[in-house]
Structure 1
Amino acid sequence: MKTTFKQEVVYQLLHWLEGNIHTPLSINDFVEKSGYSKWHLQRIFKEVTGQKLASYCRQRRLTSSAFMLRLFDKQIDSVGSEHGFSSHNVYHKTFKRHFNVTPAQYRDALHWSCKGLCPPINLTTQPVPEGRLVELDAMTLRGRVTDYAFTQDTICHFCWDKREALWRQRLAEAAAHPGALYGLSNVIKGGPRADDCATLQYLACFHPDAGGTETPLVEIAVEKQTYLHFSFNGEAQQFADFIKLIYEHALPTAGAVRRDGYDIERIDPQRFSASRSGRIDYYVPVLV
């Protein structure tokens, strides 16, 4: 569908906001960026998005700070100031009023409640994945661990290409062709270098009966529990956005509480190929 000039202006501002979410921004900054008067800008933003500009910006800053608290090893005051809050008290009070817990309580909770997170307006052509509750039986998997240290700017770089290299390496080690290959991922705060904020731990693995004697391998016992199940069936370049849409849109919209543990990818070895496409069942552990 062809966008109108007003929509194009608003979409450009939304892109600009997401790219500057860690910069203190005021309505005047948007006015200067757009070239519209304050009154006219706020009117067309509401017309196009259905939301008030100031309220949307505040909720997106709070949401971005919440993600940073959960994923990265950073001081609370630093997170608040990076998102434009003028003092510890202002950030603390605003955060608690919105999420009903303090920033410290939110950061330190064992499980991650996605309630109150404000999804960014979806500017991609991909629809938001729809999840359904399923229960996976307990299973034991054997795999190889890869640690990927990342910062705020490189969080999306561990996508299809890096995963596929690990999948193919693991398949080459199997004595028997496995019916399914699994990818387990979880984020650990901190990293080996001073500027690393977090580490993504990824395991490419399958059931022990697939054999293979290569070392070092680790054995993971996955308990029987409930997951939100999402299905990916598309091109390689869409996979990073698929995961991003799950965490930024699907989980907050569902008001889900992500359980501590691994996300599970179930990959059909027959369905990913040199064509750089494939089918993946993606499971996020949740509390119900």
Structure 2
Amino acid sequence: MRYKDIVSDIVRWIEENKFRTLKIYEIVDKSGFSRAHINRLFKERTHMSLGTYSRMRRLSASAVALRITNEPVKTISHSFGFDSTTSFIIAFKKQFDVTPGMFRIRKFWPFEKMTARYDLLETIRHLDYRIVDDVRYKPFLTTFCLEEILDNLSEGESYSILIGRSTINSRFIDNKNVGLSYSLCSREPLSNVKAKWLSINCNLKVNELGAFQEVIYAGLLPHIGITRNKGQDMLRLNKNGNCLTICEYLIPFVKYKQKN
């Protein structure tokens, strides 16, 4: 097995277990190598130690959770394996320069100090993304099932869909527990003022959207260090027969700084 595959397997296991504080010996045992060897190999590939990477992924995921759920800081702290709310607040402020509470309510949502999932880097290198200027369009039909919009679309036409948060499970487990709503937009703009968007070209089936959002929010946005603006993400999709194809994913943003 190639060393690259070994590291990717380890980081996927770290991701699956980011809801608790992993001990270094657990990660070493999972790798099947000596501690010195796997530490050296891991740092060569990720430029971080095992412990630092594990902690940074927990903090990065908790930062996303603060923005997409209404769960109390105490609950999020517990869900990501911190010993106490106090230790979580201290670690969070040290990394992001603000408390979890302030991070949640601030106008902009910065990804610059987050750590991207190492196992997603190869995927995001092949993403076709660019900056575009476009207006926001007026929503007129909202549903919890994207496929329900199908009957309102004409064959071969392109449509804009806004993504909103709708429901949240009673106990926070993972970002995937956040329910989403989808609003079909008319061709009438909310205003004539254009906003900046990060546009990501794609060719997705509707059931692939969740996995693609994981690549974006745990991979691409931390990797390029985007500062996300307020407002909903937007999809562009086409109707082809009885199928919906998502061809573009757009994120409102203020700025980004490509990381090394």
Q: Work out whether the TM-score is over 0.5.
A: yes
AA partner of residue 280 (structure 1): C
The DSSP-based 3-state class of the residue aligned with 1:230 is strand
Matches within 5 A, 1:224-235: 224-233=194-203
**Which residue pairs with 1:108 in the alignment?**
105
Q: CA deviation at 1:54?
A: 1.4
State the alpha-carbon separation in 1 of the partners of residues 100 and 121 from structure 2. 30
Question: RMSD over aligned Cα, in angstroms?
Answer: 2.9
**Which residue pairs with 1:82 in the alignment?**
79
Q: Is the 8 A contact 2:139 2:162 kept in 1?
A: no
Q: Give yes or no for the alignment of 1:201 onto 2:170.
A: no
**TM (normalized to structure 2)?**
0.82
State the alpha-carbon separation in 2 of the partners of residues 199 and 277 from structure 1. 20
AA partner of residue 66 (structure 2): L
**Which residue pairs with 1:221 in the alignment?**
190
Q: Is the 8 A contact 2:8 2:119 kept in 1?
A: no
State the alpha-carbon separation in 2 of the partners of residues 206 and 178 from structure 1. 16
State the alpha-carbon separation in 2 of the partners of residues 240 and 138 from structure 1. 23
Note closer, same or farther for the CA distance 1:61–1:33 as it changes in structure 2 (3 Å cut).
same
State the alpha-carbon separation in 2 of the partners of residues 167 and 202 from structure 1. 9
109-118 vs 13-22, which deviates more?
Answer: 109-118
The structure number with the bigger radius of gyration is 1
State the alpha-carbon separation in 2 of the partners of residues 138 and 81 from structure 1. 38
Match of 1:246 among 216, 221, 237: 216
278-287 vs 51-60, which deviates more?
Answer: 278-287
| Aligned residues between the structures | 249
State the alpha-carbon separation in 1 of the partners of residues 22 and 246 from structure 2. 41
- Structure 1 unaligned blocks of 5 or more: 148-161, 209-219
**Which residue pairs with 2:30 in the alignment?**
33
**Which residue pairs with 1:137 in the alignment?**
135
Matches within 5 A, 1:119-138: 119-123=116-120, 126-128=123-125, 129-137=127-135
Matches within 5 A, 1:40-51: 40-51=37-48
Q: CA deviation at 1:123?
A: 4.6
Q: Is the 8 A contact 1:120 1:248 kept in 2?
A: yes
Note closer, same or farther for the CA distance 1:225–1:47 as it changes in structure 2 (3 Å cut).
closer
Deviations 1:107-163 (A, max 9, x none): 122331112111001358734424322211354x3431124xxxxxxxxxxxxxx52
- Structure 2 unaligned blocks of 5 or more: 256-260
In terms of fraction of residues, the more strand-rich structure is 2
Q: Percent identity?
A: 25
The DSSP-based 3-state class of the residue aligned with 2:66 is helix
Q: Is the 8 A contact 1:178 1:206 kept in 2?
A: no
AA partner of residue 254 (structure 2): L
Q: Give yes or no for the alignment of 1:171 onto 2:169.
A: no
